[in-house]
Amino acid sequence: MQLQLDNIRKKFGDKPVLKGIDYTFEKGKIYGLLGRNGAGKTSLFNCLSGEIRMDSGGVFLRQGDVSQPLGEEDVGYVFSLPVLPEFLTGYEFVKFYLDINKDKIAGARTIDEYFEMMRIEPEDRHRLIKGYSHGMKNKLQMLLFIIDRPPVILLDEPLTSFDVVVALEIKNLLRSMKKDHIIIFSTHILQLAADLCDELVILNNGLLQEIPSAMLQSPEFEQQVIEMLKDGHGDA
Amino acid sequence: MLRTLRSIMEIRGASGANRLIYYFRRIPLLGRMMKEGMYARAELKQALTVIVQILRVLWGFLGKFMYLGIVIYWPVTAVGNDLPPQEQYGLYLQMILLLSFALAGVSSAVILEPKLDKYICVKLMRLPARAYMRSTMTLRCLSFGIYFAPAMMVFAHMLQAPLWQGALLALLLASWRTLCEALHLWLFDRTEIVLVKQTAVVWIVLGPGFILGAFMLYAGVSFIEPEWLFNLPVVLAILLAGGAAGLYIARYGNYRKAVDAVSKIDEPLLNMGRMMKDAQAKDIRSDEEQAVLRPGHAAYEDKTGYAYLNAIFFARHKRLLIQPLQRCLAGCAVLLCGGLLALALSPELFIAPAQYLRSGMLVLIFVMAFITTGEKACKAMFYNCDMSLLRYGFYRKQGAVMSNFRIRLARISGLNLIAAVAIGLAVNLPLLLSPADWIIWDAALFFMAVIGLALFYSVHHLFMYYMFQPYGTEMNIKNPFFMVVNSLVMAVGGVGLVLRSNAEFFAPAALVLALVYAVLALILVRRFHAKTFRLK
C-alpha cells in the first residue's frame, strides 16, 4: 500500500504554502515530517485529511495495481491541540464512535478494554472530556484510530504532551501498528524523529525533501538537518 | 498633554484603520480588491487614519442626533402631539434630565470604564496612566458638549424654544457629566468600588428610572418649567460644580490604581470573545461538570450513534433549551389566568382585541420569532458539539450530517410546538368564552398560524445554520449573508404587518410555507452541506 501525493498546491491569500508536493509514502514505515514553524506541516495534514481543500493536485491510495483517491475515512488524524466534544464523557464519546463505525470494526473490543489499552483509569472514563488533561485528551484521540484502524494515520506533534512513561507506551504502540499502516507524524523534535522514524522528510520552502536513511544514523545528522532547514529559510 | 493626546489618537487611528481594512477585506467580492499587503502601506494607512478620525467625529455628532431624536424627541412628540409646543418642550427637557443627567450619570461614566484602548495605551504601550487619563478625560469632556450642542439646538428649535437654550443645555450636560465622572472617581478613591461595574446597583437605578420615564411619557405631563433650569443661579451652580470636578479630575494623583483596577488581563469586559465564551460555557449544566457520570441509568443509554449523541447533547443543554420553554409556558399560564380573570370582571374587554387579532394575525410572526427556540440552540450546537466533531471526516459525511439534521429538527420542532400549543390555548380559551366575535374557526386558524410559525422558525434557524454556518471559532459571526437573510425574513413580516392580511389566508399559508420550507431544507442541506456546513 502506498500513499501518493501528486503536485499538491495550497495558497493562503497571496501566500503559497505548498508549492507542488510530490511524494510517495509506503506501508510499514513511520515517517517523520520535519519543518520549521509556519512551514506548512499542519496545512499539508489538513489537505490530506480533507479538512481543507487543496488548490490543485491529488492524493491517492495505491493498493497493488489499483489506485484510488484518498477518502476522508481512510485517514486517522490526531491534532496537535486535541479537538473533542467536551460535553461528552470519555466513555460516551468512545461508545458513540464505536456505534457509528461498527460496520468497519472487525473483532471489536469492549469500551472498557479500549480504555485499558490506553491506560485511562476507570474513574476518568465517566468524567466529562472538558475536565481531562491535555495528555488524556490526546490519548482519547489516539484511541479513535486504534478503534477503526484507517490505512493512513497522521499525527500532528503528538508526543510532546505526554509524560515519559505514556510517550514510551505510545511509541511502542505506533511501532506495533506500523506494519499495517502508513504513519506520518510531524514534529519539531529531531531526537524523537531520529528515534522513532524509519524515514525523515523535510517540508521546506513549500516542497518535501527526503533525508537519506544513512544520514539518520550519522553523527552529523542534527547539524545537517539544521543546515537544510536554514537553507530554505522556512518561509514557505 | 497634547503630545500624549496625539500618541493616543495615532494608536486609535492605526487600530481603526486596520479594522477598516480587515472588515473591507471581508466584504464578498469587493473585499478581494484589497490585498493583504495594505496593512503595510504606511502612506495609505495614514490616509485611512484621517478618514477614520473624520468618521469618528461625524459619528460623534450623528450619534447625538440619533439619541435625542429617537429616544427623546420622537416619543415626546408622538405621545404629546396634542400638547402645545411649550409643554412638549417641558416634557422633552424632563426626559433629558432623567435619562442624560440622572441615569447616564450613574451608568455611563467612562473614567473607570474597562476599555481595550486603555489597556493597549497604558499597559502595552507604557503611556503614563496619569497622562493618558488626563488627556482622554479632557477630550471626552470637551467633545461631549460639542457633539451634543448642534443636536440640542436643532431639537430645541423644532420645539420652538430659543437656540441658546439648546447650546446652554449641551454645556450644562457636559458640566454635569464631568461632575458625575469626578464623583465616580472619588467613590473609587475612597472605597475602591467601580460603580459602573456594579451591575446590580446600576440596574437598581436604571430599572425604576426607565419605568419613571415611561410613566412620564404615558402621562404626557411636564412637571418642570424651562425657567427652573435656565436661570442664573442653577446655571452657575452646575458650571461651577463642573469646573471644580474638572480640577479634581486633572489633579487626581492615583490614576495608576484607577487604570489597574479596570484593565487586568482577565478583565472580561476587555475581551468580549472570552466573555461570550464564558457565558456560553455556562450553558452546559454545571451540576454535571465535575461529577463522575455513571452509565446505565440515563434515558439515552438505549440509543445509538447520532441519536445517542443528540440525546446527550439535549440532556446536557436543558438550561439553554428547556428554560426558555418553561418561561414561555409560565407566561402563557399567567396570560390564561389574567384572561380568565378579565373575563370574569369585564367580558366586553375582549371585543376589540378579537377584532384586531383577526386582521392583524401577522403580529404572530414577531411573537413567535421571539418565543421560539432556535438560534441559541444552533449556537450551542456549533460551539459545544460541531466545532470539534466537524474536524473529523466521519462527521462531515452526508449520512452523518443528514442524520444529525433530522434529529435536531425533530427535537427543536417538538419544543417549539409545545410553546405554540400553549400560546394557542392561552389566547383562545378566554376569547372563546367571551362575548367577542371569536368562533371555533377563528381559534382553529390561530392554532394553525402559531403551529405553522413554530415549525417555520424551527426549520429556519437550523437551515440557516447548516447553509451558512455563520459562526467562526472565536464566537464571531463570520457570514454576512446570515444576517442579511435573517433581517429579510423579519422585514417581510414587517411589510405584511403594515399591509395587513386576513387570517383565512395567513394561517394556512404559514403552515404550508413551513412544510414546504422543511422539505426544501432537507433537499438543500443534503445537496450543499459539503460546501456550507464546515468550519470557517
pLDDT of residue B353: 81
Cell output for B480: 454576512
Chain A residues whose CB is inside 8 A of the B304 CB are: 99
Cα B326 to its chain centre, rounded Å, is: 23
pLDDT of residue B275: 52
Mutate which: A61, A100, A123, A145, vs B, most B CBs within 10 A: A100
pLDDT of residue B291: 44
Q: How far is A73 from chain B (nearest CA, A)?
A: 6
Cα-based angle B301, B306, B307 (whole degrees, multiple of 5): 50
Rg of chain B over CA atoms, in angstroms? 28
pLDDT of residue B125: 81
Report the DSSP beta bridge partners of residue A156. A186
pLDDT of residue B282: 56
**Does the ipTM exceed 0.90?**
no
Task: Work out whether strand A152-156 and strand A182-187 pair parallel, antiparallel, or are unpaired.
Answer: parallel
Measure the CA–CA gap between B446 and B361, rounded to whole angstroms: 8
Measure the CA–CA gap between B367 and B467, rounded to whole angstroms: 25
| Residue range A105-136, pLDDT digits in tens | 766 688 898 898 888 888 888 888 988 888 88
Taking the Cβ of residue B293 and every Cβ of chain A, the question of whether any pair is shorter than 8 Å is answered with yes
Cβ partners under 8 Å of residue B254, min gap 6: B189
**Nearest C-alpha in B relative to A49:** B393
* CA distance readout (Å), A212 to A38, A228, B59, B78, B332: 24, 12, 64, 84, 76
In this predicted structure, the answer to whether residue A234 has a pLDDT above a threshold of 50 is no
Q: Report the residue from B292, B294, B309 with minimal CB separation from A96.
A: B309
pLDDT of residue B290: 41
State percent of chain A over pLDDT 70: 95
pLDDT of residue B429: 92
Q: How far is A137 from chain B (nearest CA, A)?
A: 12
Q: What are φ and ψ of residue B412, in 5° steps?
A: -70, -40
pLDDT of residue B285: 43
Q: What is the signed CA dihedral for B395, B396, B397, B401, rounded to 10 degrees?
A: 80
Mutate which: A47, A70, A88, A121, vs B, most B CBs within 10 A: A88
Average of per-residue pLDDT across A153-162 = 80
pLDDT of residue B476: 53
Cell output for A49: 485529511
pLDDT of residue B284: 40
Q: How many CB atoms lie within 10 A of CB B109?
A: 20
Measure the CA–CA gap between A141 and A136, rounded to whole angstroms: 9
| Amino acid at position B51, single letter | I
Measure the CA–CA gap between A74 and A65, rounded to whole angstroms: 18
Q: How far is A115 from chain B (nearest CA, A)?
A: 15
Measure the CA–CA gap between A201 and A105, rounded to whole angstroms: 32
Domains and CATH numbers, chain A: 2-83+149-231 (3.40.50.300)
Chain A residues whose CB is inside 8 A of the B389 CB are: 85
Q: How far is B387 from chain A (nearest CA, A)?
A: 8
Task: Decide if B293 and A13 are in contact by the 8 Å CB cutoff.
Answer: no
Cβ partners under 8 Å of residue B275, min gap 6: B268, B269
Q: How far is A126 from chain B (nearest CA, A)?
A: 5
Which pairs with CB-CB distance under 8 Å and at least 24 residues apart come from A164-171?
A: A166/A119, A166/A135, A166/A139, A169/A119, A170/A142, A171/A195, A171/A196
Residues of chain B falling short of pLDDT 70? 265-299, 472-481, 493-501, 536
Task: Decide if A14 and B37 are in contact by the 8 Å CB cutoff.
Answer: yes
Q: Report the residue from A87, A96, A144 with minimal CB separation from B384.
A: A87
Q: Minimum mean pLDDT among A38-52, A64-78, A152-166, B66-80: which range?
A: A152-166
Helix (H, G, I), strand (E, B) or coil at A161: helix
